[in-house]
Amino acid sequence: MSSPWFMDLWSFLQCSYPEIIIAVAVFFLVRSITNKDTVLVNWPIVGMLPYLLLNVNQLHDWYTEVLRSCGCTILFKGPWFARMDMLITCDPDNVNHILNTTNFSNYPKGDDFSEIFEILGDGILNADYESWRIQRKMAHSLVRYKRFRRFVVKACREKVENGLVPLLSHIAHQVHAVDLQDVLQRFTFDVTCLLVCGTDPGCLSADFPTIPFAKAVDDAKEVILLRHTVPTSWWKLMRWLNVGGEKTLTDAKETIDQFIHQQISARRDELKTAKKIIEEGDEEEAMDLLSSYMDYQHGDEMDRLKSDTFLRDTTLNMLVAGRDTTSAALTWFFWVLSKNPKVETKILEELRSISLEKDGLIRGKKPRVFDPEDLGGMVYLHAALCESLRLFSPVPLVHKGVLEPDVLPSGIKVQPGMKILYSLFAMGRMESIWGKDCLEFRPERWISEGGMPKFSFSDRFLVFNAGPRSCLGKDISFVQMKAVAAAMLYNYEIQVLDDQVVAPRISVILHMKNGLMVNIRERCA
């Protein structure tokens, strides 16, 4: 005889109760996590990590939404015992507090940063304390040297004239589209290799040669960002097992080290054979940074500073900083111009006024390459570049540590060992910082009523950092960006293809995930 229906139901519930509870809990957890209007919940055991994992493919946009809803600052709680608790902010007051000279020593990169970015070694981007101070002093003296600054201008102009423009003219006669991000990365890699290593790898050629070093750096940057999204113990286990992204990083490091050691060896041999140790009074000879470091005669640690390890770390740091940030900035600049044709028209008018002034009535002279000195006075071009950088900072997320307890201007208390992430990507999109038009591309915000550049945004425009760690390559970056933008806009029409998804790549540098496919045509007038 069969049992009554309610007895069958009771037996089912007894057997399935734990599974039902788990299923219901998971349902409400997923619903809460995927509801954009829901405040982040600090769940037992897992903390807020599920939100991060679900949004890792749109990390920068997600950070922006979270910070907008939380008043620009949030304390992110990671899983228990995972050491993932971190303060995330885009509040300019907080960031300036961290970066300014008074508090600078309390907010180093920290041991966590050094571990995550271990591939950079003890280079200037990774170093803290005395090591950073010595490297900063050396780099400052070399980068500010008149001979090197002339070398920057000369190398940039020649690469635009003899590399970029001929390649673009070749592409203009082809019927197929090209990835502009790839072209710009090739340009900045060639120029950066010239400035840092004194050699031109010739990547900017019509056959688009494979660049193993460049691919290795891109692979490494992706893995490094993903290290921020999982518990430290997890990625360290993956590294120990040499699997997944950590194996990719290991392989990338081998490729990177091989390339850099070749550069160091070549420069040593050339300096020794040709005796190219430059005399202080020789003002005409160009000196790349690697040669300058090898010839550096000041300080008490010369043996260490000339070692292969130090030169490897220094060369890698400078190559990464020079190639990646400038190419990313230019790629987003051309994309945002394609969405704002009126801005492009105004830049062209400014360029044509220079061309007319320099060439008289020969207005149609093509192709035209502008001297950096002529571009220094282009107010609107400079403003447009700054506006693009505001929205698309090449380094979208910055990592800091904490040494001593402190209270940030927003009232948040920070403790030793805490990680701090500040989002420059989110900062450029906050109405509370830039006003109701914060999402608009409006170069006019950088120009005064008298037509001069505005310098009143230094407290919230932190793309080039601030305080003691402000970017030494800022002027070099603007020289390159202006030279490339001017030559490309004056001589060519850059037509961005409509049928493509433009989104940030998940990396420590704000590259485009799918590149930027464009058609290039010679400009008629």
Domain ranges of the chain: 36-522
Q: Between 366 and 400, whose confidence is greater? A: 400
pLDDT at residue 272 is higher than 90: no
Q: Which backbone phi and psi does 518 adopt, to 5 degrees?
A: -140, 155
Q: How far apart (Å, rounded) are the C-alpha atoms in residues 52 and 91? A: 20
What superfamily would CATH give domain 36-522?
Cytochrome P450 (1.10.630.10)
pLDDT band for position 306 (cuts 50, 70, 90): low
Q: How far apart (Å, rounded) are the C-alpha atoms in residues 504 and 515? A: 9
Angle between helices 232-241 and 212-227 (to 10 degrees): 140
Q: Between 425 and 360, whose confidence is greater? A: 425
pLDDT at residue 300 is higher than 70: no
Give the residue from 262, 265, 256 showing the smallest Cα distance to 324. Answer: 256
Tell me what the mean pLDDT of segment 265-287 comes to: 62
pLDDT at residue 96 is higher than 80: yes
pLDDT band for position 524 (cuts 50, 70, 90): confident
| Tally of CB atoms within 10 A around 73 | 19
Confidence (pLDDT) at 355: 64
Tell me what the mean pLDDT of segment 120-144 comes to: 85
Give the residue from 322, 241, 259, 246 showing the smallest Cα distance to 288. Answer: 322
Confidence (pLDDT) at 516: 97
- One-letter amino acid at 432 equals S
Burial class (CB in 10 A: 0-12, 13-18, 19+), 27: exposed
pLDDT at residue 302 is higher than 80: no
pLDDT at residue 10 is higher than 50: no
Confidence (pLDDT) at 275: 54
Poorest-pLDDT segment among 12-21, 317-326, 404-413: 12-21
Poorest-pLDDT segment among 289-303, 413-427, 459-473: 289-303
Confidence (pLDDT) at 278: 45
